[in-house]
């Protein structure tokens, strides 16, 4: 099952990029034997300042058809890391295709796209900058793969 990260904003060279690249390499390496990955990053940018509805139009174009859509949203559902690992395994085994994680921009994800999502995932009720949310997602993907692989990275 391929994992798509569909995000608003272009990641420039810097500390977030280093973190994200590192966790995605680790995720791909750990996930390969589990049928998870590779992870692909898709970015959109609305240069005309059309806000979340313009961003949603661009996001809709890059979300692969028939993928499970997971919207990252602070109002979504909280998961422990083992619960998230189980979800990822279930999506892989469910045979629906790929999974697409959607990360909004400064205004968030437009309501229609949020409603269309199969799952809304929260990293807590605080709002994080989108690039940090991206880095946190990549770490949790690696952690989930490690949990499913039974490797000792995750400790309770
Ligand atoms: C700066 S936030 C936008 C927050 C905005 N208030 C909203 O209504 O969503 C940019 C993006 O980062 C992600 N994000 C930020 N905090 C999050 C959290 N606690 N849990 C999950 N995703 C989060 C979401 O995808 C959000 O659309």
Q: Answer yes or no: is 137 within a domain.
A: yes
User: How many angstroms separate the Cα of 50 from the Cα of each of 82, 105, 106, 113?
Assistant: 38, 11, 12, 16
35: CATH:
3.40.1280.10
Protein residues with CB under 6 Å of any ligand 1 atom? 72-74, 103-104, 106, 108-109, 122-124, 126-130, 133
Q: Which two tokens stand for residue 131?
A: 């690039």
pLDDT for residue 95: 87
Has residue 139 been placed in a domain? yes
Cβ-Cβ contacts under 8 Å for 133 (sequence gap 6 or more): 72, 103, 123
Residue 27 forms part of a structural domain:
yes
Q: Pick from 67, 107, 106, 101: which is nearest to 84 by CA? A: 101
In a structure prediction context, what are the per-residue pLDDT tens digits for the chain, which is 156 residues long? 999 999 999 999 999 999 999 999 999 999 999 999 999 999 999 988 899 999 999 999 999 998 999 999 999 999 999 999 999 999 999 988 899 999 999 999 999 999 999 999 999 999 999 999 999 999 999 999 999 999 999 998
Q: Which of 133, 135, 137, 139 to mutate to test the pocket of ligand 1 (most atoms within 8 A of CB)?
A: 133
Is 26 within the bounds of a domain? yes
**Owning domain of residue 36:** 3-149
Answer whether residue 154 is part of any domain. no
Assigned domain for 155 exists: no
Is 123 annotated as contributing to ligand binding? yes
Provide the number of structural domains found in the chain: 1
**Per the domain annotation, does 91 fall within a domain?**
yes
Nearest CA to ligand 1 atom 15: 128
ipTM of the complex model? 0.97
């Amino acid at each position: 099952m391929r994992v798509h990260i569909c995000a608003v904003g272009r990641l420039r060279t810097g500390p977030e990029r280093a973190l994200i690249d590192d966790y995605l390499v680790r995720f791909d390496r750990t996930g390969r034997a589990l049928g998870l990955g590779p992870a692909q990053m898709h970015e959109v940018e609305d240069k005309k300042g059309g806000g979340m509805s313009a961003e949603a139009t661009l996001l809709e174009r890059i979300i692969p058809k028939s993928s499970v859509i997971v919207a990252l949203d602070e109002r979504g559902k909280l998961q422990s890391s083992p619960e998230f690992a189980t979800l990822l395994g279930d999506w892989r085994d469910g045979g629906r295709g790929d999974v697409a994680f959607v990360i909004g921009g400064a205004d968030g994800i437009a309501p229609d796209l949020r409603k269309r999502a199969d799952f809304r995932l929260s990293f807590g009720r605080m709002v994080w900058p989108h690039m940090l949310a991206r880095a946190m997602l990549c770490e949790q993907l690696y952690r989930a793969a490690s949990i499913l692989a039974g490797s000792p990275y995750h400790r309770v």
